[in-house]
Structure 1
Amino acid sequence: MKPLLTTLILVFSFVAGNAQINTFKILVQNGESEIQIGEVVTQLKKGMVLSGDFTLTVKEGAYLGLVHNSGHVLEIKESGKYDANDLYGKIEVTETNMIVTRYTDFILNREISEKAAGINYEIMRDFEPFSDSEVNLYIPGATELYGDKLALEWANESEFSIIRVMNMFEEVLLEERVEGQRTMLNLENENLKKEEILLVKVYQDNDVESKAVALKRIDHETRTQHTQNLNSLTSNISNSALLELISAAYFEDNNLLADAFTSYVNAMLLAPNVPDYRSAYNEFLIRHKLLKLRQ
């Protein structure tokens, strides 16, 4: 019996020890960075798992978005050398947030699946509107809405555009003149916050306009549930582009596409020099047939 007991103790010790192993997964990567394990030096790539003793060399202008196996996230924006133990020490593990790891895996696995299917969203490819006869808004024609902020963007260039937000009877509640092709609407505006259904249209010169986008606010009970989920999801993440990317994955998974788009835009704006965020934004637009590659 003693050999069996000794074997069981060793097995349980191994399992318990491995449960505490620190690992990082690379969710976002830009520029050149290397990992050194012993004498072996390897270039870092998105999706790579980092564990054990290692040293990272982050070169000038590079960026890393890391997800710890506890669900905590870590951004590395400064060049230099980073020891594994120093990085582990930055993670205060009070509890494991499996929701974060679920959505980081959701992001990486979707990208792997799309590449396997031959879909390749290159950052520098040209995109174009589906039509020049109407303004192409980057939001599906009808969607439910959770948040109080709404990113609006459109493909068609113009000296300026007029944004109109209307109620279900097409009475204008808010009108804005916008230069450029993007704006952020505050849906807590006094004229908007009590409306359950909002219609949004963009107008440009020569009577070119978008189709009306219908946005329906989710009911109080559903909103409360999403708030609880999001609070749990983001409890270990400070305000960052990584937070917006993970939130976007949550919204898209729950078919809250206007909110997902807003988070993709926020991620891109918070880290404008990191192509992965722009790529995630492009992927969303192509995936939902809101934009097409230029032929």
Structure 2
Amino acid sequence: MRKFVSIAITTMLVFAVGVANGQGYTFRVLANKGQNKVKKEGAATPVALKTGATLSDGDQLIASQGAYIGLMHKSGKTLEVRTPGTKKVSDLAKMVNTKSASVSSRYAKFLASKMNEKEQPNYRQRLNATGAAKRALAGDEQIKALIPAEDASVLGDKAIVTWDVLDDMEENVFIVTVKNIFDEEIMKEEVTGNSVVLDFTSEQMQNEEGLWIINVRAKENQDVSSGDIAIKRPENPSQYAEGLSSLKAEVDEDSPLNKVIYASFYEENGLIVDALTAIEEAIQMNPDVEDFKILKKDIIERNGIKVYEETE
């Protein structure tokens, strides 16, 4: 938990400096898909829009066909632009309800610092490297479930568990089993792809202990396995109730961008399974937005979840 407090404090200090040096901005770009541009006030020609850029009232946003642009208003509220055409930033600002934005502002700013391209250039270059291949190290599992090895607490009623496999692994069908604390199998599901949705409200998944042991195996070769990984309910779930309730009062959960803000809330509170579930929901809602995938990888890296190393 101490690590997350440190991250939060560092983030707020960095952002405070940014705000002090740039009070005039109206929006910050959190996600950007498409050949979008911005015409800055007083400029003769538009330039390419970049994640992390700031927009002022006098600027014009030029969205391409099929665009997705996720904006954070200076109040902390978010706005998504999906339709093509030229839009005045001042007009977009009028669409934002800035009332009751104290909690969402905190986590939107936390998110902005993580997705700012200028702050993480080397990381983004590494993620976008071409020709990279995944390789296993000695002692590695052949399937890596993307769950923290320790303190994998889950607050929500469901979790989307994903896993990583080697590039040369032809298997695409997996058997996911869930056991309770008594080593009794309570769920078994065959899935295609690299994710499964666990519904903790279903009758078979409910148990008083609040602990689930998950294993992923290749269907055709069940010796290829993730090993057993446990997730559990937090010891004191009520400690998150007030913050989560306040966030829900300000931010709906029905948009990809807002899912990412919820991921920021969960990560700062050490609920990494919930954070990864929220960001995975954002990715599934709009899979072409590369920034969401980068943020997921960022959460994984920050929290020490093992993945296969990528080599050129």
Place the TM-score, normalised by the shorter chain, in its bin: 0.7 to 0.9
Contact 2:52–2:115 (8 Å) recurs in 1: no
What residue in structure 2 maps to residue 7 of structure 1? none
Secondary structure, counterpart of 1:146 in structure 2: coil
Q: Please report how far the alpha carbon of residue 256 of structure 1 lies from its aligned counterpart in structure 2 after TM superposition.
A: 0.9
Whole-angstrom distance in 1 between the partners of 2:285 and 2:261: 14
Task: Give me the CA root mean square deviation.
Answer: 2.6
| Matching residue's letter, 1:291 | V
What residue in structure 1 maps to residue 104 of structure 2? 100
Structure 1: which 5+ runs fail to align? 1-19
Contact 2:103–2:247 (8 Å) recurs in 1: yes
Secondary structure, counterpart of 1:235 in structure 2: helix
What residue in structure 2 maps to residue 207 of structure 1? 223
Aligned match for 1:269, one of 284, 288, 296: 284
What residue in structure 2 maps to residue 292 of structure 1? 308
Q: Kindly indicate whether residue 157 of structure 2 is the aligned counterpart of residue 141 of structure 1.
A: no
Whole-angstrom distance in 2 between the partners of 1:67 and 1:108: 8
- Cα deviations across residues 178-233 of structure 1 (Å, max 9, x unaligned)? 122211111111122234111111122142222211112024xx433423312322
Whole-angstrom distance in 2 between the partners of 1:110 and 1:82: 26
What residue in structure 2 maps to residue 217 of structure 1? 233
Q: TM-score, normalised by structure 1?
A: 0.82
What residue in structure 2 maps to residue 4 of structure 1? none
Aligned match for 2:134, one of 115, 128, 153: 128
- Cα deviations across residues 109-138 of structure 1 (Å, max 9, x unaligned)? 245599558433424654636467532111
Q: Which moved more, 1:266-275 or 1:133-142?
A: 133-142
Secondary structure, counterpart of 1:243 in structure 2: helix
| Matching residue's letter, 2:285 | L
Cα distance change of structure 1 residues 190 and 88 upon mapping to structure 2, 3 Å threshold:
same
| Matching residue's letter, 1:91 | V
Cα distance change of structure 1 residues 78 and 183 upon mapping to structure 2, 3 Å threshold:
same
Contact 1:234–1:243 (8 Å) recurs in 2: no
Cα distance change of structure 1 residues 229 and 66 upon mapping to structure 2, 3 Å threshold:
same
| Matching residue's letter, 1:252 | E
Q: Please report how far the alpha carbon of residue 262 of structure 1 lies from its aligned counterpart in structure 2 after TM superposition.
A: 0.8
Secondary structure, counterpart of 1:64 in structure 2: strand
What residue in structure 1 maps to residue 83 of structure 2? 78
Secondary structure, counterpart of 2:143 in structure 1: coil
Trace 1:152-171 onto structure 2 (pairs within 5 A).
Answer: 152-156=161-165, 157=169, 158-171=171-184
- Cα deviations across residues 131-185 of structure 1 (Å, max 9, x unaligned)? 6753211112231110111112222352422111111121111111112221111
Secondary structure, counterpart of 1:215 in structure 2: strand
Task: Choose 1 or 2 for highest CA Rg.
Answer: 1
Contact 2:263–2:278 (8 Å) recurs in 1: yes
Q: Please report how far the alpha carbon of residue 292 of structure 1 lies from its aligned counterpart in structure 2 after TM superposition.
A: 3.4
Secondary structure, counterpart of 1:208 in structure 2: coil
Secondary structure, counterpart of 1:91 in structure 2: coil
Whole-angstrom distance in 2 between the partners of 1:61 and 1:185: 32
Contact 1:160–1:180 (8 Å) recurs in 2: yes
Trace 1:1-295 onto structure 2 (pairs within 5 A).
Answer: 23-36=26-39, 37-40=41-44, 41-95=46-100, 97-111=101-115, 115=119, 118-120=122-124, 121-123=126-128, 125=130, 126=132, 128=134, 130=136, 134-142=142-150, 143-156=152-165, 157=169, 158-195=171-208, 196-204=210-218, 205-219=221-235, 222-238=236-252, 239-287=254-302, 288-295=304-311
Cα distance change of structure 1 residues 274 and 110 upon mapping to structure 2, 3 Å threshold:
closer
| Matching residue's letter, 2:79 | L
Runs (4+) off by over 6 Å: none
Whole-angstrom distance in 2 between the partners of 1:31 and 1:175: 40
Q: Please report how far the alpha carbon of residue 253 of structure 1 lies from its aligned counterpart in structure 2 after TM superposition.
A: 1.5
Whole-angstrom distance in 2 between the partners of 1:229 and 1:214: 26
Among all aligned residue pairs of Structure 1 and Structure 2, give the percentage whose two residues are the same amino acid. Answer: 26
Q: TM-score, normalised by structure 2?
A: 0.78
Whole-angstrom distance in 2 between the partners of 1:133 and 1:224: 35
Secondary structure, counterpart of 1:273 in structure 2: coil
Whole-angstrom distance in 1 between the partners of 2:157 and 2:42: 50
Contact 2:147–2:305 (8 Å) recurs in 1: no
Cα distance change of structure 1 residues 98 and 123 upon mapping to structure 2, 3 Å threshold:
farther
